[in-house]
Chain A
């Protein structure tokens, strides 16, 4: 079976009907395990003290802020190239989830930065590109709301998504590109030397799995709602014309 068969709204709704609550339950389980493990059962860091516990929120939310936009990019490209409505609606559905992840990353980063760096905010390359990513999310959501014709809205938001992808990538690689500012490098790496200690690493992995699953479950649920809203709109138009 081709992946494009899921571009059919009926097929998408049938497939995600049971998948969505299952993913939601798995996300809740991973989040509870990861966050309880990290908060209650990991030691303080020798330099950061108890603020190291913020890592279980900050790193997974930052990960999903960036990857959420990249998922929207893929869905937008599918819309632009193949004109599948479900992909445009999936991109729209992901934006509020992505902006929430971005906000969590910004807030938890600021709360951690105050005692560690001595400031809530600095115009550091990664922080600044993350703030711009947040503003792109806001603009993307506002553009969907501002345009009545859904196909025009999908076209314009897809173009905005392409432009914003530059900042999504910059947010990820700003530390490597400019090698300056307050923000440290990646907390997780394929190179074991650069990783955080195992005692923090494993609960962090579980928490990250929870955030990924939560993102997927919420995007699926919101996409289902967008499909229903589109059908509702069509039925109401038909009623008005009858």
Chain B
């Protein structure tokens, strides 16, 4: 299934791996911060309403 990348295999795979790390890191950090802030806001609003 893996295509034959010839003598440029290292460059192509490095480009894809680096991009995957950066994109997945960005998505992960975005989701993590969104969940953290939402939890904290829910708690604060709960205290405020009480």
Chain A interface residues (CB < 8 Å from chain B): 35, 39-40, 44, 49-51, 53-54, 57-58, 61, 96-97, 100, 103-104, 107-108, 111-112, 114-115, 214, 218, 221-222, 224-225, 228-229, 231-232, 235-236, 238-239
Which B-chain residue is minimally distant from A235 (CB atoms)? B44
Q: Which of A35, A57, A115, A236 has the most CB of B within 10 A?
A: A57
On whether the beta carbons of A100 and B23 are closer than 8 Å, the reply is yes
CA distance A108 to B13 in the complex (A): 10
On whether the beta carbons of B18 and A104 are closer than 8 Å, the reply is yes
B32 to chain A, nearest CB (A): 10
On whether the beta carbons of A238 and B34 are closer than 8 Å, the reply is no
On whether the beta carbons of A225 and B44 are closer than 8 Å, the reply is no
Chain B contributes a number of interface residues (CB within 8 A of A) equal to: 33
B window 16-33: CB within 8 A of A:
16, 18-19, 22-23, 25-27, 29-31, 33
Given B18, B30, B44, which contacts A232 in the complex, CB threshold below 8 Å?
Answer: B44
* CB pairs A–B below 8 angstroms (8 shown): A53-B16, A100-B23, A100-B26, A111-B15, A112-B15, A218-B30, A231-B41, A232-B40
Q: Which of B8, B14, B33, B45 has the most CB of A within 10 A?
A: B8
* B34: chain A residues within 8 A (beta carbon): 221-222, 224-225
A38 to chain B, nearest CB (A): 10
CA distance A112 to B19 in the complex (A): 13
CA distance A107 to B47 in the complex (A): 47
CA distance A151 to B37 in the complex (A): 21
On whether the beta carbons of A111 and B37 are closer than 8 Å, the reply is no
On whether the beta carbons of B14 and A111 are closer than 8 Å, the reply is yes
CA distance A228 to B43 in the complex (A): 12
* B23: chain A residues within 8 A (beta carbon): 100, 104, 214
Query: With contacts A50-B9, A115-B8, A225-B33 known, is A57 near B41, CB below 8 A?
Result: no
On whether the beta carbons of B37 and A225 are closer than 8 Å, the reply is yes
On whether the beta carbons of B44 and A111 are closer than 8 Å, the reply is no
Given B19, B27, B41, B48, which contacts A228 in the complex, CB threshold below 8 Å?
Answer: B41
Query: With contacts A49-B8, A225-B34, A228-B38 known, is A54 near B47, CB below 8 A?
Result: no
* A39: chain B residues within 8 A (beta carbon): 3, 16
Which B-chain residue is minimally distant from A236 (CB atoms)? B44
A20 to chain B, nearest CB (A): 10
Query: With contacts A50-B8, A239-B44, A239-B47 known, is A97 near B15, CB below 8 A?
Result: no
* A214: chain B residues within 8 A (beta carbon): 23
On whether the beta carbons of A57 and B7 are closer than 8 Å, the reply is no
